[in-house]
Amino acid sequence: MKFIVTGSAGFIGFHLARRLLADGQTVHGIDGFTAYYDRDLKHARNKILEASDKFTPHVAMLEDMTAVHEIFERVRPDIVVHLAAQAGVRYSLTNPSAYIESNLVGTFNILELVRKFPVRHLIAASTSSVYGMETASVFAEQTATDRPVSLYAATKKSTEVISHAYSHLFGIPTTFTRFFTVYGPWGRPDMALYSFVADISKGRPIDVYGEGRMSRDFTYIDDVVEALSRLVDVVPSDGGPQIADDTLSPIAPWRVVNIGNGAPVKLMDFVASIEKHVGAKANIRLLPMQPGDVASTHADTRLLQSLTGFQPNTSLDDGVGAFMDWYRDYTATTTVS
């Protein structure tokens, strides 16, 4: 099958594209190589993908409808996995327009293109941030998502709603995946694991928000990719839920699925694991929660298990260890601040 993966030089997009290529699929990657974080890391990921003759890179911003239309018209994909987005909760406080352009306009353009060039399945990324400050102990897909506390979450929730309308009106089989704190090798430098490792390794202090009392459902990248690859063939169809707790819409071939480890970890335990693998103690500055942050995330993964037979299960310690192996190799040949 022919895949288009948007954000193919990004963290999750790179790993998914590499998995699809290993499985013998043809992949066309679209990435804008924005300056949100180190472009060298994006180019290093892209170079690995380009080693495959089944991978074709396309440099384009999704907001540029003309450029992306030309790609879709030429490729005519069977599957689109839309992972490109302006990520990060805190950055949305200082550059909100980037989220409107990338997440809303970019996703709208993808929806228009899969309407014009029908695909077997559109899979698109959402986030656990859509659950906001809900007090449920576990976030099931049916948990309310109507009160986002960051612009990032608001734009992702908006893309879910807009895509449902498109799915209903034009019969686009669509799955939205809500990712819970994805981490692992080749991760983004702005994410906690990368920044904590870099700072602890260099003896710099780390800022731990929420006075260290927050917790996150950390999900290892290989588990995310396994879940996505299995969901490719779980194509939503009209008719409403067929299994318990299904989110399949009664009026559209559309559903939403959590992808998380299902086992939240306290931030201080997260820091302790990093200290163990770095081999150094952290100089910790405990700070209040930042605007847009949530206290805790915990994924209910029963629907993912029912649909795919898969449950993410990589332990945090194993995942942090794998990240450290990659980080040491990468920084040995790269200048990292």
Sign of the dihedral through C-alpha 233, 238, 239, 240: positive
Distance, in Å, from the CA atom of 54 to the CA atom of 225, rounded to the nearest integer, reads 19
What tokens does 322 get?
A: 């794998």
Strand, helix or coil at 136? coil
Q: What are the helix and strand counts (H, E) for the chain? A: 11, 13
82 token code pair:
């839309």
State which H helix or E strand residue 206 sits in.
strand 206-209
Write the DSSP string, 71-121.
HHHHH--SEEEE------SGGGGT-HHHHIIIIIIHHHHHHHHHHHS--SE
Return d(Cα 6, Cα 110) in angstroms, integer.
Answer: 9
CA gap 1, 13 in Å, rounded: 17
Alpha-helix runs per DSSP H in 263-309: 267-278, 302-308
Check if the beta carbon of residue 201 is closer than 8 Å to that of residue 207.
Answer: no
| Angle (nearest 5°) at CA 313 between 214 and 195 | 45
Q: 183 catalytic, yes or no?
A: no
- Per the residue annotation, which of 91, 152, 194, 220 is the catalytic one? 152
CB 53 within 8 A of CB 24: no
Q: Provide the annotated active-site residues.
A: 152
